[in-house]
Chain A
């Protein structure tokens, strides 16, 4: 008899969890209908206070650029760190220390990373409030995510494959570039796109390191910029315009969903290939 309440509980929880996403999506999509137009996406913010009229183009461009910078830095650093840890490092103590410090950073909240970005990158290194400082801060934020997953991927590689490659007298670098990279192309791409999604949605680190309420599309790495999540926060937090907030939320959500979809495509294709 106690089975029935259990089933009710599990089914209800599942419906609730899955339904949440559809609720969030439909909520934003329905309310944003009247606001979204090509003009809204491609125009500069206008009106007084700024943002009450006009569009969000600088925020779209700023978000895309800062995400690109962050992903680029984080990927290069994370890839080589993972390669070093798996294929070159022979000292277990070094491995332990590096793993420990990466795990530590993975647990640090984004706002504290923002503090670091502000005090160290913006002020001490004199990068100023800029898209470069924000990009680097976001890179530190997503670095552990990428590195931990890449390292796991490399560690799980079939040992025989690596041994066969080594016994043929092939260099490690050649094996990594010509065997592992093509083999894991899909997984690596999906790890990077998911991490980019996190970087794009983060407002706390960028609002301390270079994000502005109103700025043009950045011209150089040293210019301040606008970002979608921060723009949304300002529009709603200061009660500037609810309509434009819906529009901004819609665009941000679409971009993040696109990145998620992009990450899922290779795995979906891969699954079909197996059958």
Chain B
């Protein structure tokens, strides 16, 4: 009886694993397959370097360079804004002796990471966009900058938690020695902990960048969404926003439909590449530490 249950359990777990892996594999396979069809009509290089997106014209053109640039631009702005704040916060948390306070701060950051992106977009629209309109006297505050600010808030928890993890380790490692040498805590943070966390800061930047690139709702609500070359205070449209806004109206199997899948494929490839980079660097770093 028990032997049969054991057998059943092992078969069950094998079957479910196969189902999961097949399903996940299908995601990559299906997106790739649907997006390859477009290359019968359009050259790959023309697709990613084309400046005009007009799939519904009588002579349709599909170029997604403005969207690719906007995606990179807004993610870069987000990381640049978020990084100094994130590192500062991580330094403070790593050196915090009060465990209860540290636990409290950590859970606050976890909650921040769990807030839905629509809510960030909603508040961004009412606060950030309004603020930019007033300060820069813009006709419309929806811009790359507003998207960058909203995304900066969204990626902040990821930067803080991944940098804190490393800093905490090196703080614990050198605490006794520094104390014995009579070195002040601030000096230790500045001269030892911060330079030691260079690798962790790099990986956290990649992580934050990939999070920002994949984000849809929040950026879509605050960036204005016009497929033009991005400027800091001008409107822009990310790849994810393009897909979200247009897939509902694209006719099944049309050029428009496949072009959107190809945009998704391009985005997916960027992110898989960033992820791979993240793991390679992280693996290298942990081996280096040990």
List A residues at the B interface (Cβ < 8 Å). 2-3, 6-7, 9-14, 16-18, 20-21, 24, 27-28, 76-78, 80-81, 83-85, 87-89, 97-98, 101-116, 118-120, 123, 140, 143, 147, 171-174, 176, 194, 197-198, 200-204, 207-208, 229-230, 232-233, 236-237, 245, 249, 252-253, 256-257, 259-260, 264
Give chain B's interface secondary structure class.
helix
Q: Within B1-37, which residues are at the interface with A (CB < 8 Å)?
A: 2-3, 5-6, 8-10, 12-17, 19-21, 23-28, 30-31, 34
Instruction: State A112–B71 Cα separation when bound (angstroms).
Output: 15
Give chain A nearest CB distance to B137 CB in angstroms: 23
Given A83-B13, A109-B216, A112-B31, 7 additional A-B pairs, CB 8 A: A24-B115, A78-B20, A81-B21, A88-B10, A101-B24, A173-B6, A257-B111
Q: In the complex, are the beta carbons of A115 and B116 less than 8 A apart? A: no
* Complexed CA–CA distance, A115 and B13 (Å): 29
Does B264 contact A28, Cβ atoms closer than 8 Å? no
* Closest-CB distance, A180 to chain B (whole angstroms): 13
Given the known A-B contacts A13-B88, A253-B115, are A116 and B6 also in contact in the complex, defined by CB atoms under 8 Å? no
A204 vs B274: C-alpha distance when bound (angstroms): 21
How far, in whole Å, are A116 and B187 apart by their CA atoms in the complex?
52
In the assembled complex, the CB of A70 is this many whole angstroms from the nearest CB of chain B, namely 13
Q: Most B CB atoms within 10 A — which of A143, A204, A233?
A: A204
Partner of B114, one of A143, A249, A260: A260
Would B271 and A233 count as touching, CB distance under 8 A? no
Instruction: Among A13, A80, A107, A194, point to the contact of B16 (Cβ < 8 A).
Output: A80
Complex: how many Å from CA A81 to CA B19? 9
Hey, which bits of chain B sit against chain A, CB under 8 A? 2-3, 5-6, 8-10, 12-17, 19-21, 23-28, 30-31, 34, 84-89, 91-93, 105, 107-112, 114-119, 121-123, 125, 127, 153, 156-157, 160, 184, 186-187, 189-190, 210, 213-217, 221, 240, 243-244, 247-248, 252, 260-261, 264, 267-268, 271-272, 274-275, 279
C-alpha spacing A204/B184, complex, angstroms: 49
Which of B107, B114, B214, B261 contacts A109 (CB under 8 A)? B214
B91 close to A10 (CB less than 8 A): yes
**Would B247 and A20 count as touching, CB distance under 8 A?**
no
Q: Using A3-B190, A203-B217 as known contacts, say yes or no to A120 and B264 having CB atoms under 8 A apart.
A: no
Query: Across the interface, do A119 and B20 meet the contact criterion of CB distance under 8 Å?
Result: no
Q: Are A107 and B19 in contact (CB under 8 A)?
A: no
Asked if A105 contacts B84 (CB within 8 A), the reply is no
B27 touches A80 (CB 8 A): no
> With the chains together, A264 CA to B221 CA distance in Å?
31
26 A–B pairs (Cβ distance < 8 Å), ordered by A? A3-B184, A3-B187, A6-B186, A13-B88, A16-B89, A18-B109, A24-B123, A77-B16, A98-B17, A101-B24, A101-B28, A105-B28, A109-B271, A114-B244, A118-B247, A171-B6, A172-B6, A173-B5, A174-B5, A229-B116, A229-B217, A233-B217, A236-B121, A249-B119, A249-B122, A260-B111
| Closest chain A CB from B154 CB (angstroms) | 10
Q: How near does chain A come to B203, taking the closest CB pair, in angstroms? A: 14
**Chief secondary structure at chain A's binding surface:** helix
**Which of chain B's residues have a CB closer than 8 A to the CB of A201?**
114-119
A3 CA to B13 CA, complexed, in Å = 56
Residue of B nearest to A208 (CB): B247
A109-B112 CB under 8 A given contacts A84-B17, A140-B24, A207-B244: no
**C-alpha gap A123/B272 in the complex (Å):** 26
B85 pairs with A119, CB closer than 8 A: no
The distance from the CB of B194 to the nearest CB of chain A, in whole angstroms, is 9
Contacts of B6 in A (CB 8 A): 171-174
Q: In angstroms, how far is the closest chain B Cβ from the Cβ of A161?
A: 18
Contact A81 to B20, CB < 8 A, known contacts A10-B89, A103-B279: yes
User: In this complex, which of A109, A120, A174 has the most chain B Cβ atoms within 10 angstroms of its Cβ?
Assistant: A109
Query: How many angstroms between the C-alpha atoms of A208 and B260 in the bound complex?
Result: 13
Q: Per a CB cutoff under 8 Å, which of A13, A108, A204, A252 touches B84?
A: A13
Cα separation A256 to B128 with both chains bound (whole Å): 23
Return chain B residues, CB-CB under 8 Å to A21: 108, 111-112
B28 x A104 contact (CB < 8 A): yes
What distance in Å separates the Cβ of A175 from its nearest Cβ neighbour in chain B?
10
Contacts of A3 in B (CB 8 A): 184, 186-187, 190
